[in-house]
A and B are shown apart, each in its own frame.
Chain A
Amino acid sequence: MAKPKTRRHQERRGGIIRTALILAAIVLFIYLFFVGRAVFNYFA
């Protein structure tokens, strides 16, 4: 049986995941901004 997380961790899990996802989205956006735009211009 999976061990339950601590209460503090449970309370903060939403915040942690939300922070991580927002940051990952920023990374992806910047990468695509540079590469995607260049590729678009290249083929345009």
Chain B
Amino acid sequence: MANATTAHHDDHHDHHPTGLARWLFSTNHKELGTLYLIFSLAMFLVGGAMALVIRAELFAPGLQLVNPEFFNQMTTMHALVMIFGAVMPAFVGLANWMVPLMIGAPDMALPRMNNWSFWILPFAFTLLLSTLFMPSGGPSAGWTLYPPLSLQGGNSLAFVILAIHLMGISSIMGAINIIATILNMRAPGMTLLRMPLFVWTWLITAFLLIAVMPVLAGAVTMLLTDRFFGTSFFNAAGGGDPVLYQHIFWFFGHPEVYILILPAFGIVSEIIPTFARKPLFGYTSMVYATASIAFLSFIVWAHHMFTVGMPLGAMLFFMYATMVIAVPTGVKIFNWIATMWRGSMTFETPMLFALGFVVLFTIGGLSGLMLAIVPANFQYHDTYFVVAHFHYVLVTGAVYAIMAAVYYWLPKWTGHMYDEKLGKIHFWWSTIWVNVLFFPQHYLGLAGMPRRIPDYAVQFAEFNMISSIGGFMYGFGQLLFAYIIWKCVRGGEKATAQVWEGARGLEWTVPSPAPLHTFDTPPLVDDKVAVHADRLT
């Protein structure tokens, strides 16, 4: 009876606006998810273009293409655009599309706020990017905006800080929405420990966002008042402490790293069981490992600042706490491998990217362990070794997971299969060149090349040249990714509802493409539907 009432009351949804109004005023989770993903792809290309400016300048020693000030603006903007404009909105877009489908909810809990969360972003990034055209140029102190350097630039800092506040507000509203959705909108029978791992990882990520985005807001607010209102929070001459900023920033910054990677863990935990045709090994331990990583992320922040000088006991604490993170991360990697063990594996493009993630992210994780060792960190700090480390984590980690997710769910979104041959070419092209791009940077860092410099000593020339060639090949290869998506949206082989033979879960029970409104009548979830239930056959 309740179902009949539901269907009747939802009839008004059929009168849907078209054209620009459809996108401007949409409160539909699927449309907003699409907007997030398109925005993310655009920012990925913008941030990528900035990376190519950096790699072009570093192709050979000496200053050739841009002046050092602009180079510094490029390194700063590249990071801000990629972190806040590309990776985070991509994950929020994926959450918008998939979380309601995976838990059997008709939409996000707060659809109007969802619209607002998205539409803040284009304004925030227009504001941020516009600083490049201001007389004082864009921010050039690195994405960390460390004082006193960040306070010595021009007035454009005010615009940058406002843009960061807007991005933060967008992220916080998105996180509130995701938590409210997951806690209140699950279908009957969808208990917490039946939820797909992607939903779990996003739930935990959303709590991290709630906890740390206001900390970043606090840090940049104090930066703003130091620069424009005569305070001295971070000014030693006025009784302040620049190291205080670093502590506050990294109290945000380290959990932020996990905000960028936990949803990726969730995606890989969805894809590997599908293509291994086995339930995920150790589902419960995956949930606890994710929660453990999230907890530990709050007590390791000072490993980013070992070289500023701190008591020995503090260094030991942060070193060991950082190393402990390897334990739950190792549990995850073990579980992914155990899931594949004796599975009937096939290697479609999403699986290739997921496997690329497991292998290459682990390289980034291991170099992270090296960086955690205090005496070694004194050598590695602020060198290209750090750049190599976090690009393995964020490009072959987060970005690879996003690409895997797009290939995995694209047939569900568009109703068409993507071009598998082109997808595989995209994977192998990316994987070869991304390693040519980033692996030599380990050697550069070990040899002592500092990061964030436009010129370098001649002994670093060869590895920089190799890295730049890799960068250009990898970068232009991503145009193929955009083409594959465009081609799939335009047409192609019709996708079935299940799409993948081994796919399990509620999202695969709705037709492809997923209709605008799904689960107006809540589905009943039992162990047969639950993705990772042990009794799944």
A contacts with B: majority SS: helix
Distance to closest chain A CB from B502 (angstroms): 31
Bound Cα distance from A9 to B222, whole angstroms: 41
B233 partner residues in chain A, CB cutoff 8 A? 38, 42
A15 partner residues in chain B, CB cutoff 8 A? 183-184
Distance to closest chain B CB from A23 (angstroms): 5
- Whether B6 pairs with A34 at a CB distance below 8 angstroms is no
Q: Report the interface size class on chain A.
A: 20 to 34
- Whether B211 pairs with A6 at a CB distance below 8 angstroms is no
Distance to closest chain B CB from A41 (angstroms): 9
- Whether A42 pairs with B184 at a CB distance below 8 angstroms is no
- Whether B222 pairs with A35 at a CB distance below 8 angstroms is yes
- Give how many B residues have a beta carbon under 8 Å from the other chain's beta carbons: 35
A35 partner residues in chain B, CB cutoff 8 A? 217-218, 221-222
B6 partner residues in chain A, CB cutoff 8 A? 6-8
Q: Which of B5, B106, B113, B179 contacts A19 (CB 8 A)?
A: B179
- Whether A27 pairs with B172 at a CB distance below 8 angstroms is yes
- Whether B176 pairs with A6 at a CB distance below 8 angstroms is no
* Known A7-B2, A12-B185: A30·B211 in contact at CB below 8 Å: yes
- Whether A19 pairs with B221 at a CB distance below 8 angstroms is no
Q: Which of B2, B110, B215, B219 contacts A16 (CB 8 A)?
A: B110
Distance to closest chain B CB from A38 (angstroms): 6
- Whether B211 pairs with A20 at a CB distance below 8 angstroms is no
- Whether a CB of chain A sits under 8 angstroms from the CB of B14 is no
Q: Which of A1-44 contact B (CB under 8 A)?
A: 3-9, 12, 15-16, 19-20, 23-24, 26-28, 30-31, 33-35, 38, 42
Q: Which of A20, A23, A31, A38 contacts B217 (CB 8 A)?
A: A31
- Whether a CB of chain A sits under 8 angstroms from the CB of B154 is no
- Whether B176 pairs with A23 at a CB distance below 8 angstroms is yes
Bound Cα distance from A37 to B349, whole angstroms: 51
Nearest CB in chain A to that of B10: its residue: A6
Q: Which of A4, A16, A20, A31 contacts B214 (CB 8 A)?
A: A31
- Whether a CB of chain A sits under 8 angstroms from the CB of B321 is no
B180 partner residues in chain A, CB cutoff 8 A? 16, 19-20, 23
- Whether A8 pairs with B522 at a CB distance below 8 angstroms is yes
- Whether A3 pairs with B9 at a CB distance below 8 angstroms is yes
- Whether a CB of chain A sits under 8 angstroms from the CB of B231 is yes
Distance to closest chain A CB from B253 (angstroms): 14
Bound Cα distance from A9 to B28, whole angstroms: 15
A7 partner residues in chain B, CB cutoff 8 A? 2, 5-6
- Whether B2 pairs with A24 at a CB distance below 8 angstroms is no
Distance to closest chain B CB from A40 (angstroms): 12
- Whether a CB of chain A sits under 8 angstroms from the CB of B248 is yes
Counting chain B CB atoms within 10 Å of each CB, the highest count among A7, A8, A12, A35 belongs to A8
Distance to closest chain B CB from A8 (angstroms): 6
Counting chain B CB atoms within 10 Å of each CB, the highest count among A7, A33, A38 belongs to A38
The 10 closest A-B pairs by CB, nearest first: A34-B218, A31-B214, A30-B214, A19-B180, A15-B184, A35-B218, A16-B109, A23-B176, A6-B6, A12-B184
